[in-house]
Structure formats: C-alpha cells, structure tokens
Chains A and B, each alone.
Chain A
Amino acid sequence: MGRIVGLTGDETAAEVMRQINPDVLAAYPITPQTETVQRFSEFVADGKVSTEMVRVESEQSAMSACIGAAAAGARAMTATSANGLALMWEIVYIAASCRLPIAMVVVNRALSGPINIHCDHSDSMGARDSGWIQIYSENCQEIYDNLIQAVRIGENREVLLPVMVTFDGFIISHCTERLELLEDKKVRDFVGEYKNSYPLLNVDNPITYGPLDLFDYYFEHKRQQIEAMEKVPQVIQRVGEEFEKLSGRTYSLMEEYKTEDADFILVAAGSTAGTVKTAIEELREEGIKAGLLKIRVFRPFPVAKICQVLKKAKAVAVLDRSASFGAQGGPIFLEVRSALFGEERKLPVINYIYGLGGRDISIEQIKGVYRNLQKIADTGKVKKLVDCIGLRE
C-alpha cells in the first residue's frame, strides 16, 4: 500500500516529479506554478533526485532546453502557467513536431490581459492545437496519477508526443488535499527508462534535428502528427488499465459520474467537476436525474466515447472556463456540439462560460444550470445557446 499524505497541488506535482526523477527539469517561476519548482529545487539541493535542473531565464528557454534535453536522449520535464505558457508558445509547437515526449505541468491561470493570477483555462485551451496531449486533473490525487501516466503515454513508441497535465491554479495548486502516494520504486518501475531511438548524443550515428521542411514534405510530417494523435486514446486506455493494477484507481479518457440513467448531463473539466458532483448528489435527492461527464483528455478529443455517453441525455450543458472570442462558444462546447452533430437525434446542447480570472462557481449556480436543462427538455426551446455564470451585469 502507498502512503496517505496531505499535499497541495503544487507540492503533489513536485513530489511525483521527484519519484519520476527526470533526467532534466528546466523551469522558470510563475504564479501559481512556483511552489512546484521551489519544492523540486529542494529535492535537487538535498540530492534526492539525479535530475539536472536548468534554472532558465524564461519559459521560452525552459521549453527550448526541454527540447534540447529530450532530443539528446534525456527524459525532460517542465512546469508553467498562463503567460509562461504563452511565452513558450512557439517552442511548444516545435516540441510536438519534433516528436519529443516532454511532460509539462500547466497550473491553469488566466492569461493576461488584464493581468490576473487566478484560475481559468484560457492558457492551456489556447494551446489546444499545438500537438500536445492534454490531460486535465480535478484534484491532487489526479495530478499525481495523471503525471505518472503522462510519461508512459507520451513516450509510447506509437505516440511520441509531448503531454500537458493541467490542474486549476490556487483552487488546487494551493489547496491541501488528502492523497495516496505509491512507493518510489513502484513509480520508477512503472515509468521505466526513456529511450530515444535517435539521441543527439549518439555521435556515432549523427542525426539532424529540426531541418527546414518545405512544401514537398511538411504536409506528410503533419499527417504523421495527426496519426500519432489518433493512436493516443488506445494508449491512454492501456496505460490506465496498467495503472489501475498498480494503484487500484481507474482512469480512462473521461470520467462518468451518474450518467447511466441521467436525463441532464453537464460536461466540465478541472476542479469544477468536484463541485458538480456535489450538486448532482443534492439534485438526485430531489429526484432530478443529473449526471456529469468530466473531460480528462481534451487532446485528443474522445469524440466517439463522448457521443456514446451524451446521446442518451435529454439535454446537455457544457461548462467552459475560457472564452473563445468570436467563436460560437467556449472550446469544450465547440468540440462537444460538433461531436454530436453526427447523431440522428438532435440533442439540445448549451454552453456556459464561467470562472474567468478565478471567479468562484457555487453549487447553487450549478444546480441552476441543471434546472435550465430541465426547462429546455420540458419546453423544447433553447432561450440562450451561450450564457455566462456568475457574471455581474
């Protein structure tokens, strides 16, 4: 059995990184990720890891160093938030196109401007087309479990893609929760050793990384990235099953909470899923068949699975903690609604933007969403396709 501990989200990320013991960690401090890097620095200072830590002068260099390290043949990790992720943008894409399985912790924080340090998903949602696998965590236990699995998923020979593991800034990053840790050895055995087939450091077999790739090959290389993404769901499933044997905790592409008989389903990602679950409990006592589909893996987006779960519902609401300016709704909504387009039965799907810049969302507000779904099911009419929760008018 593992150890039961109380850790904040940031501390959890640092602890699991210690257990994974990456060869290289390159990071730059940014709120609310800072404590992850601080605590990991202590592990380095105390000789508890063999990691070479590169205290870079910017996030741009953090990702650049991770690419150099991973290409060289090392397991490389980093952590960032919001503006930090934005600053490394260009290099985030390059990591994916070089097919380097870097693992990155993204502590979700609202993107500037105006500057704000609290949670929303505008940072990682903005990077949804960068070619990274994205795994959203609800709580500290999931941060722990997701990071361990992320290493295996990204490094799978069929995949070879970088992975972002996200969790909500402050709400989770600075909140102490109970979680179960596995023994160091079990984690290290599970993640195994990173083997780059073409390490830059193999001077006997010189490799050129990052060549100029023009119209005669670029497209094919992009297709390879698309195909690699297509293989990810199966790998996530397999790694999840293996991890379950190790930990007793079940993981797949998403989590279903009371969806089997649900009339009304909410789709949400991150810590809000926990609040939704409480709302569901209370609504069920009132006899309302409420359910939750929690997005764990947003990239690749598990279209088939999501349709399978949602198609039985009477009405669906998608909660987005980020806005997509000028689009028909938030990023998760766009994906969900588009996924359901192929279904024969036209299912009402509405969108709520909430929690931007760290604004709280309450159980009552979530209950209000379910009540609106009830109304839609009763009347067959959607008054407002996209709305906001908790917005001061």
Chain B
Amino acid sequence: MPSLKVLSKKEDLLSSGHRLCPGCGASIIVRQALLASEKPVVVACATGCLEVATTIYPFTAWKTPFIHNAFENAASTLSGVEAAYCSLKKQGKIDKEINFIAFGGDGGTYDIGIQALSGAMERGHNFLYICYDNEAYMNTGIQRSSASPRGAATTTSPVGKAAPEGKQEYRKDLTQIMVAHNSPYVAQASPGYYNDLMKKVEKALSIEGPTFIDVLSPCPRGWRYDASRTIEIAKLAVLTGFWPLYEVENGKYRITYKPKKKRKPFKEWLKSQGRFKHLLKEENKEIVEQLEKRTMEKEKALYALAGEEFL
C-alpha cells in the first residue's frame, strides 16, 4: 500500500459536498476503499444513505462511473456490468483494466439483497462487494435489520415495558455466510483502522473472483453518539471484541489486528452509544452478561479458526 503522503495526493473519487451526515462512517469507508484501488473503478450501489446522499439529481459526488439500480440488487446489477465487461473484452471492444466494487448498507446486503449477493458470489463474478454495515436501516429512520445487534434500540425494536432490551435477536453473521460461499477472499474491517481496511481492499481487488468485505460503519444518528467520535467508536468496536478484524483467504483465517494490551471491557462498547443506554440499567444486567459472554466466545472461536491464542 502506498504511504499516507502519496495517498494524500491521490484524487478522491467521492468528492466533498455530498449530503451524508457529519461523522457518517459510509463516506469515510468509500473514500478509503476507492483510494486503495490502483485501477479505475466502476461502482454499483444499493439504495440507501450512501446512494441518496451522493447522487441528488442534477448533482453527483462520484468522480468515477457509478450505477444505482434498486435496493436489493447491487450485486446482480454489478454482475451484469462485469459480464458486459467480459463480453466486450472478449470481443476486443475494450482493453482497459477496471476494478468493480459494489457498496451496500446492511439492509441492502444482509436482508433484502442477500439473495442477489449469494447468487453473484456463487457465479464467481470478478468484483468486490463492500457492505457498509451501520447495523440498521438508517436511511429510512433507524429500523432494525438482521445486522442490528441484540440489545440495540431501534425505531422498530424500541425499548418498552414488554421489551426491556430493545432488539431481542442476535445479529446475523454475514461474514461467515460469505465464507461459506467459498469466496477466495472475505474480510471484516473498520474505518478506525484505515491501513487494515485499505490493505484488505487492495488484496480483495488483486484476487480473481468474487470477494467480500464487511465494514462496520458507525452512524452518529442511529447509534446515538456525537458525530466527532466516529473513528473512536470504530476503534472501540475492535478493541472491545465486538468487531474483530480478520480475513479469510482461500479458507485460511487470519486475525489482522489483535487488541492484546489495548483490549477494553465490553461494557465500554455499550456505554459509548445511546442505542444501548437502556442495557446499563440494573434490570438488564443479565442480558449484558449474555452479550459479553457471546462476544467473547465468538472472538475466541475466530482465534481458534486462525490458529491463534486468544489473550
């Protein structure tokens, strides 16, 4: 990966002036990802915050070819783009080397778009799918998705007398589902660790076939924290074990960042965001213990898969 000095001079393909919220994780992730591509990039995007805030006609923030089709079909739309590229290349009608990246939020990826994504992964198109995972339907007003963690308060899993914990179900582990597709490269990343994220994008783009990176995307509005703290929160997710950074290359697991000395108590993760505020009440003590236990077990299992000792 080029040095920060070099990268700072590289043109941003997502220009400023878009209408994403201050502190939005998505735009940070997109800029980091696009900076990591040496070749020109064609982007497909699912309906969601990223799309609606960057392409309000007659404006566009994208300085690279961009296509938005619908909510659930970024993967199949990009399948068509990539198939067209292969066809035209085969016929000698295009010779440029191009990278293809799809961006989708967790709603468009974990939920409504999972079929299209699964199909595209199985068919083996040569593209990278990046999920900017802010753990709820933020664009429509913070409704729960299958990526929302257990215990999060959202507008469709609100905290109430009959539901003191907010969302009652554990989140779907999409990264593992993608691993099960035998993709040559699957990873989990966080914009808090830009070098890790960019290296992963760089690696994914260098590998032939369908690759997938799930990037945790802190959302100040939905997670209820001050917009200035996005990177801090993105780091905290990793340091508390909530969002381990790892990659699976041809089935081989590797932990790409080990918190070790910096490891923080899981409760700090909950304390950092308003969406978990209710969990800190005495009556939810047991739930917090369960969440903590499960997080640790999941991380331990991951370390075991990577053949690493969990400290």
Residues of A within 8 A of B (CB): 23-24, 26, 50-52, 54-58, 60-62, 64-74, 76, 90-91, 94, 200-203, 206-214, 217
Contacts A68-B78, A200-B81 given; does A212 touch B56 at CB 8 Å = yes
New A-B pairs, 16, CB < 8 Å, besides A57-B115, A208-B68 = A52-B83, A55-B123, A57-B122, A64-B76, A64-B80, A69-B84, A70-B80, A73-B84, A76-B84, A94-B69, A94-B70, A200-B67, A200-B81, A210-B55, A212-B56, A217-B58
Tell whether B182 is near chain A: CB-to-CB under 8 Å: no
User: Within 8 Å CB of B69, what residues of A?
Assistant: 64, 67-68, 91, 94, 209-210
Most chain A beta carbons < 10 A, residue from B55, B69, B90: B69
Q: Flag whether B148 is at the interface (Cβ < 8 A).
A: no
Residues B79 and A201 in contact, CB atoms below 8 Å apart: no
Q: Are B76 and A50 in contact (CB under 8 A)?
A: no
B56-115: which residues lie under 8 A (CB-CB) from chain A? 56-58, 60, 62-70, 72-73, 75-88, 90-91, 94, 96, 98, 115
Which B residue's beta carbon lies closest to that of A210?
B68
State whether B84 touches A24 (Cβ < 8 A).
yes
B44 at interface (Cβ–Cβ under 8 A)?
A: yes
> Nearest chain A CB to B160's CB is how many angstroms away?
34
A57 to B85 CA separation, bound complex (whole angstroms): 20
Residues from chain A with Cβ under 8 Å of B72 in the complex: 60
Asked whether B42 is an interface residue with its Cβ less than 8 Å from the other chain, the reply is yes
Q: How many residue pairs between the two chains, A and B, have CB atoms under 8 Å in the bound complex?
A: 171
Contact A217 B57 (CB under 8 A): yes
**A68 CB contact (under 8 Å) in B58, B80, B88:** B80
Check if B30 is an interface residue, CB within 8 A of chain A.
no
> How far, in Å, is A135 (CB) from chain B's closest CB?
23
User: Closest CB of chain A to B49's CB: distance in Å?
Assistant: 11
Question: Do residues B40 and A67 form an inter-chain contact, with CB atoms below 8 A?
Answer: no
**Other-chain residue from A91, A201, A206, A207 in contact with B73 (beta carbon distance below 8 A):** A91
Confirm or deny: B291 has a beta carbon within 8 angstroms of a beta carbon on chain A. Answer: no
Nearest 10 A/B pairs, CB to CB: A68-B80, A57-B119, A65-B80, A74-B84, A61-B76, A72-B84, A211-B55, A210-B68, A64-B73, A203-B40
Residues of A within 8 A of B20 (CB): none
Q: What 0/1 pattern do residues 200 to 239 of B give for CB contact below 8 A with A?
A: 0000000000000000000000000000000000000000
B 114-160 contacts with A by CB, 8 A: 115-116, 118-120, 122-123
In the complex, 13 of the A-B residue pairs with CB atoms within 8 angstroms, ordered by the A residue number, are A56-B119, A58-B119, A60-B73, A64-B79, A68-B76, A68-B81, A72-B88, A207-B66, A210-B51, A212-B51, A212-B52, A212-B55, A214-B56
Q: Which residues of B contact A61 (CB under 8 A)?
A: 73, 75-76, 79, 115-116, 119-120
Is B83 a contact partner of A210 (Cβ separation < 8 A)? no
Chain B contacts for A210, CB-based, 8 A: 51, 55, 67-69
Q: Given A50-B90, A73-B88, answer yes or no on A208-B60 (Cβ-Cβ < 8 Å).
A: yes
Which among A23, A24, A58, A208 has the highest number of chain B CB atoms within 10 Å? A208
Q: Are B84 and A208 in contact (CB under 8 A)?
A: no
Task: Give Cα A169–Cα B40 distance, bound, in whole angstroms.
Answer: 45
Contact B77 A65 (CB under 8 A): yes
Say yes or no: A69-B81 contact (C-beta < 8 A), given A24-B87, A61-B76, A91-B70: yes
- Which residues of chain B are within 8 angstroms of A217 by Cβ–Cβ distance? 57-58
Q: Could you tell me the distance between the alpha carbons of A62 and B120 in the complex, rounded to whole angstroms?
A: 11
Asked if B56 and A65 make an inter-chain contact with CB atoms under 8 angstroms apart, the answer reads no
A216, closest chain B residue (CB): B57
User: Chain A contacts of B77 at CB under 8 A?
Assistant: 64-65, 67-68
Q: Which residue of B lies closest to A102 (CB)?
A: B80
- Complex CA gap A56/B55 in Å reads 28
CB distance from B250 to the nearest CB of A (A): 24
In the complex, how many angstroms separate the beta carbon of A101 from the nearest chain B beta carbon? 14
Decide yes or no: A74 and B65 within 8 Å by CB, A58-B119, A91-B70 being known contacts.
Answer: no
The verdict on A64 contacting B65 (CB below 8 Å), with A73-B88, A201-B84 known, is no
Nearest chain A residue, comparing its CB with the CB of B61: A208
Q: Which residues does chain A contribute within 8 Å of B52, judged by CB atoms?
A: 212
The one of A65, A67, A200 in contact with B42, judged by C-beta atoms closer than 8 angstroms, is: A200
Residues on A with C-beta less than 8 A from B66 are 206-209
In angstroms, Cα B86 to Cα A382, docked, is 61
A258 to chain B, nearest CB (A): 46
The reply to whether A211 and B57 contact each other, CB–CB distance below 8 Å, is yes
Name which residue of chain B comes closest to A88, CB basis. Answer: B73
- A72–B115 CB distance below 8 A: no
In the complex, the chain A residue whose C-beta lies closest to that of B59 is: A211
- Most central of A24, A68, A71 by chain B CB within 10 Å: A68
Name the CB-closest residue of A to B52: A212
Q: Which residues of B contact A65 (CB under 8 A)?
A: 76-77, 79-80, 83
| Residue numbers in A under 8 Å from B87 (CB-CB) | 23-24, 50-52, 69, 74
Which residues of chain A are near B63, meaning CB under 8 Å? 206
Contact A211 B56 (CB under 8 A): yes
Greatest chain B CB density within 10 A among A50, A202, A211 is at A211
User: Smallest CB–CB gap between B183 and chain A, Å?
Assistant: 16
A60 surroundings in chain B (CB, below 8 A): 72-73, 76, 115-116
A57, A64, A66, A67 interface centre (most CB from chain B within 10 Å): A64
